[in-house]
Chain A
């Protein structure tokens, strides 16, 4: 039986690169086929009907034609344009991070509908949430679990002893927490506080409502982010490129001055710090 010439897919745009004069190669994550690449022809021309479909993070249903080389996007319909992810700098920087992680953790044509739902759910909430930090932590935990890297947060990954409410250590290579007695066994393991473990457990158990009620001050948020970033980068064996941008945007938001108090002399200092990173 010959496969059909064209197929339908529900997709979210993860990446795209320019091809030739006006085309793009677009990497989608789809509900039906996992990650896949397709050529979108003429989409850099203003009158293109496909341009909106291949903009980053857009959620749509697509009709794709099988090609001899790459498949070709023929038509589609936008479900969610996710405009806040395109026009709000902080949300946009988080969306880049989410899309990069999904792209890096997956291979093409490996169906994973759970991951599609995680990605879609994260993008939907990212448009509105006031707690994007916590949302990203939930996303990382869901992604890790879905890809088979669920961290062990209840027992020491070395001696299997139940973890006590004290400062333990997180071991990326061990895939979970080490008790204080075993912490020395992994030189890469770093201290993890009781509160961090508590929040991670809530996220792991899917108790999002309780997690949202927890008052996570800046220090704890930083620790949670660090623990998961180190684990993710250990698993990927590489840096997450868009994390650098996300960090930079966040530090710009923090030091942003009210727009009605412009001081050109201050500008120089700001510019220098921005360039120095």
Chain B
């Protein structure tokens, strides 16, 4: 494997290459190509990119209701009056909302756990946003919770655990992923499969 920050490269370029190389899906070659592209691009384009990256972290926060990424106290989905507040779809990460939204088959709200129970990594229920989910069930507006954690062992454990601790609330609890292939990520699942999984969701317990 080639060393991306070789000593023959000027320090600022080497630093950029190293930073780009840390991004997902960017290998050493692509990192070099991007860095040299930016080096010869016009100043405005480079400034725009740098600002977009800086503002991303400064202006993005978590929605106070569903913990999705948001540019305001409440995210666009939670503030949309047309969404059905009686349904909450529980996902592992903000990115999982995108494929579900693309199906247009789900009109309810979301809840982002920001992780999954991963016992061997020491991540238990208290390390993800389960308390926040339970708090949303306290008033009786929610009638159904759809568990859309990934169809793998950790996602399944998280769903089974949630089902168990939510059962006293007397709401309908369904599992989305039962029709999905075991081991796959929701993020990469196509709309047709997801729509089918939404329609065919099964009640747990």
- Give residues in A with beta carbon < 8 Å to B: 15, 20-22, 43-48, 51-52, 54-57, 68-69, 81, 85-89, 92-93, 96-97, 99-100, 103, 241-242, 244-246, 248-249, 252, 256-257, 259, 262-264, 266-268, 270-271, 274-275, 277
Contacts and interface: CB of A to CB of B under 8 A. Distances in A.
Interface in B112-127: 117, 119-122, 124-126
Contacts of B165: 252, 270-271, 274
Nearest to A17: B121
A51 B131 contact: no
A29 to B, nearest CB: 14
9 contacts: A44-B184, A55-B182, A85-B153, A86-B153, A92-B156, A241-B119, A244-B124, A256-B164, A263-B168
B164 A252 contact: yes
Interface in B165-205: 165-170, 180-185, 187-190, 193, 205
Nearest to A96: B119
Contacts of B124: 244-245, 248, 277
Interface of B: 1, 24-25, 117, 119-122, 124-126, 130-131, 134, 137-138, 140, 152-154, 156-157, 160-161, 164-170, 180-185, 187-190, 193, 205
B134 A271 contact: yes
A274 B133 CA distance: 13
Nearest to B124: A245
Given A51-B184, A86-B156, A69 B1 contact: yes
B188 A46 contact: yes
B24 A21 contact: yes
Contacts of B169: 262, 264, 267
A259 B120 contact: no
Nearest to A271: B134
Contact of B182 (A51, A92, A263, A277): A51
B181 A51 contact: yes
Nearest to A246: B119
Across chains A and B, which 10 residue pairs bring their CB atoms closest together, nearest first? A262-B170, A51-B183, A242-B119, A245-B119, A46-B184, A267-B168, A271-B134, A44-B185, A241-B122, A89-B160
A277 B119 contact: no
A103 B124 CA distance: 19
A45 B182 contact: no
A22 B125 contact: no
A81 B181 CA distance: 13
B157 A92 contact: yes
A39 to B, nearest CB: 14
B131 A22 contact: no
Q: Which of B165, B168, B182, B205 has the most A CB atoms < 10 Å from its CB?
A: B168
Contacts of B1: 68-69
B25 A264 contact: no
A140 B185 CA distance: 34
B195 to A, nearest CB: 14
Contacts of A267: 134, 137, 166, 168-169
Contact of B126 (A21, A86, A275): A275
Q: Which of B120, B131, B137 has the most A CB atoms < 10 Å from its CB?
A: B120
Contacts of B180: 46
Given A45-B185, A263-B168, A274-B165, A89 B157 contact: yes
B183 A22 contact: no
A86 B161 contact: no
A257 B168 contact: yes
Contacts of A86: 153, 156, 182
Given A271-B131, A271-B165, A275-B131, 20 more contacts: A43-B183, A45-B185, A46-B184, A48-B183, A81-B182, A86-B182, A93-B119, A103-B120, A241-B120, A244-B124, A245-B119, A248-B125, A252-B161, A262-B168, A263-B170, A267-B134, A267-B137, A267-B168, A275-B134, A277-B126
A88 B25 CA distance: 35
